[in-house]
Amino acid sequence: MENETKSTAQQNQNVTRAAGVVSIAVMVSRLLGLARETAIGYYFPSKTSADPFYLAFRIPNFLRDMFGEGILSKAFITTFLATEAEDGEEAAWNLTNRIFSLAFLVLIGIIVLGIILAPVVVDVLARDNFDRNLDNVEHFGFDSKIELAVYLTQLMFPYLLFVSFAAIAMGLLNSKGRFGIPACASTFFNVSSVAVGIGGYYLFPLIEIHPVTGMAIGVIVGGIAQFLIQVPSMYRVGYRYRPLLSLRDPRVLQVLHLIGPAVLGVAAVQVNLLTNTFFITSDSGWLTWITRAYRVMHLPIGIFGVAISTVALPQLAKLVAAGETENFRNALSYSLRLMLVLTIPAGIGLMVLSEPICRLLYEWGATLEEDTIETAGLLFVYAFGLCGFSMLKIVTDGFYAYKDIRAPVIVSICAVVLNICLNYLFIYREFFLDPRAVVFSTVLTVTLNCVVLLLLLRRKVGRLGLRSVVPLTLKTLTASAVMGFVCWLTNGVIEADWLGTVGIIPRIVAVFAPIGLSLLILAGMYKLLKVSEFDDILNIFKQPL
């Protein structure tokens, strides 16, 4: 019994330490992603150039989230680990080669179809109000936003190939216990896309090409960089590519079996985002505002949700493969508790500071105060779903570790249908003709999706230690409420002193002064309430990473 307790404690410590490494890497990447959004906001007005870019990027990016970083990576990790454990390392390398070759052929076909069908897809997603006429001379021959969006969509589709390769590489390295480099890979995407995008803004008009083309080419260059940065690490863990291809290999079929019906099963968030596109092109600016608000919320999701999920899935899959059900329960329960301790205060912080954050990040150059106010209102609603968005990743990983995708498929399809119905009522029937209604429906359906899947997983594997989650949640809510109140007071004092002041320094202070003080209060409250998960987080910084 004592050895089992030590094993569980060590297991939790390993999860926390690895998640800490990934969190830092993802945080840097997401901050650079916000810098990329700031650059877009500075150079491109939301109601003319930015809207078409975001619509165009959503289409290949949706496929990336679905097949690349979502399903493909998860299906590959679980199958790779099972192959390595049961058939040996050489069989695992052969599986990797076959998946790379098959992915290349399939993705080339999707890219060609995507380029051909881009006019049809954009026309379906864009509502009438989105088809705003553009100045033909100012926009280098483009007469409408839809026409510009089609051009950008076709230009960015090859990005899907490289970013999917990057996802397979990430799955391979995560399976081998390497988390740092894969987590840093998206940093190179953001740096490359920003550099090429800004350069294109100044250079392309000189040769009579629309300046937003630079952002589209930057996306492709960034995708290439995101894959190539992982290649040396793949070589170091022993991987060597060989051109193998087989559709009859049982392990390849296992990956395909996990991918096929799971397109909706593990991608409720992405499907909701794509279906929302149809509704949020109802008016100019909606798409840009919602995209920017989601990008801000993507920072804590990445730092906490993606980081913990990235570390948890390989561990959960190994425990299932070894038949260690009790350790599986403990690992999953600990991951969920760790997520609550981090995401509840983060959500409250986003609510309180939504407007100062959006002003600091976006209100520069071509972005107006109206854009800031609208984006902040959407971020406030998004913050309610931070726990749901983040915990859904962990709960889905639990099913994936058991190679069971039936429940996620059914529940997620129901969630997508509910989301579409709510959007139809809010937007089409004009109950709430407001972009916040679209975000609210997404938050509600994702949260419900997470709760239902958690209950189904409990029925599948037995108790998950959820009773311990209740007092932890109460402690976290208490600490977060105190933190939120202090944050609100601090923000009010700063705004009263610097009301009307314009400049980078006041905006930085308006965001980071409340955050700094609030973090100190939160840490004190967690210590006072004896939240052990917070102590585990602190231990990350007490030892070399």
In a shared domain, residues 73 and 185: yes
> Rounded CA gap, 501 and 458, in Å?
53
Token pair in block for residue 256: 């395909």
The three-point CA angle 316-319-322 to 5° equals: 150
Q: Residue 142 has what pLDDT?
A: 81
In a domain, 269, yes or no: yes
Calculate the CA dihedral of residues 313, 316, 320, 323 and round it to 10 degrees: 160
Least confident stretch, 44-48, 127-131, 192-196, 269-273: 127-131
Q: How far is CA 83 from CA 54, 318, 402, 522, in A?
A: 40, 11, 14, 44
Q: How far is CA 458 from CA 5, 9, 425, 453, in A?
A: 22, 22, 33, 9
- Residue 217 scores a pLDDT above 90: yes
In a shared domain, residues 455 and 524: no
Q: Residue 429 has what pLDDT?
A: 60
Q: Of 102, 124, 121, 103, nearest to 113 (Cα)?
A: 121
Neighbours of 203 (CB within 10 A): 14
Q: pLDDT tens, 137-181? A: 777 778 888 888 899 999 999 998 998 888 888 888 878 878 778
Least confident stretch, 99-113, 232-246, 417-431: 417-431
Look at the chain and count its residues: 545
In a shared domain, residues 460 and 510: no
In a domain, 498, yes or no: yes
In a shared domain, residues 492 and 422: no
CB 80 within 8 A of CB 73: no
- Residue 359 scores a pLDDT above 80: yes
In a shared domain, residues 396 and 504: no
Residues 6+ apart with CB under 8 A from 262: 71, 75, 405, 408, 409
In a domain, 267, yes or no: yes
Residues 6+ apart with CB under 8 A from 407: 399, 453, 456, 457, 460
Q: Residue 414 has what pLDDT?
A: 85
Calculate the CA dihedral of residues 398, 400, 401, 404 and round it to 10 degrees: 100
In a domain, 374, yes or no: yes
Tell me the average pLDDT of the chain: 80
In a shared domain, residues 521 and 376: no
Residues 6+ apart with CB under 8 A from 82: 254, 317, 321
Q: Residue 486 has what pLDDT?
A: 92
In a shared domain, residues 295 and 397: yes
Q: pLDDT tens, 54-78? A: 888 888 877 776 665 556 666 777 7
Q: Residue 270 has what pLDDT?
A: 63
Q: pLDDT tens, 519-536? A: 999 999 998 988 887 877
Domain count, the chain: 2
In a domain, 176, yes or no: yes
Neighbours of 68 (CB within 10 A): 26
Banded pLDDT at 478 (limits 50, 70, 90): very high
Q: Residue 545 has what pLDDT?
A: 41
pTM above 0.95, yes or no: no
In a domain, 224, yes or no: yes
> Rounded CA gap, 306 and 389, in Å?
10
Token pair in block for residue 207: 């040769």
In a shared domain, residues 389 and 308: yes
Q: pLDDT tens, 274-333? A: 666 666 665 566 777 888 888 888 778 777 766 676 666 677 777 877 778 788 888 888
In a shared domain, residues 223 and 332: yes
Least confident stretch, 29-43, 416-430, 482-496: 416-430
Residues 6+ apart with CB under 8 A from 92: 80, 83, 84
| Domain final position from 444, 464, 484 | 464
CB 461 within 8 A of CB 325: yes
Q: Domain of 522?
A: 473-545
In a domain, 8, yes or no: no
Amino acid (one-letter) located at 156: M
In a shared domain, residues 35 and 56: yes
CB 272 within 8 A of CB 442: yes
Q: State the number of CA atoms in the 13 A half-sphere of 265 facing the CB.
A: 25
In a domain, 304, yes or no: yes
Q: Residue 417 has what pLDDT?
A: 85
Banded pLDDT at 365 (limits 50, 70, 90): confident
Residue 16 Cα to chain centre, angstroms: 20
In a shared domain, residues 247 and 310: yes
Q: State the number of CA atoms in the 13 A half-sphere of 444 facing the CB.
A: 14
| Domain final position from 464, 497, 518 | 464
CB 472 within 8 A of CB 533: yes
Q: pLDDT tens, 324-334? A: 878 888 888 88
Q: pLDDT tens, 13-55? A: 655 566 566 667 767 777 788 888 888 888 888 777 888 888 8
> Rounded CA gap, 365 and 307, in Å?
33
Q: Residue 301 has what pLDDT?
A: 77
The full DSSP string for 256-268 is HHHHGGGTTTT-H
In a shared domain, residues 387 and 479: no
| Domain final position from 464, 491, 506 | 464
Q: What is the mean pLDDT of residues 184-212?
A: 89
Greatest distance between any 2 Cα atoms in the chain: 76
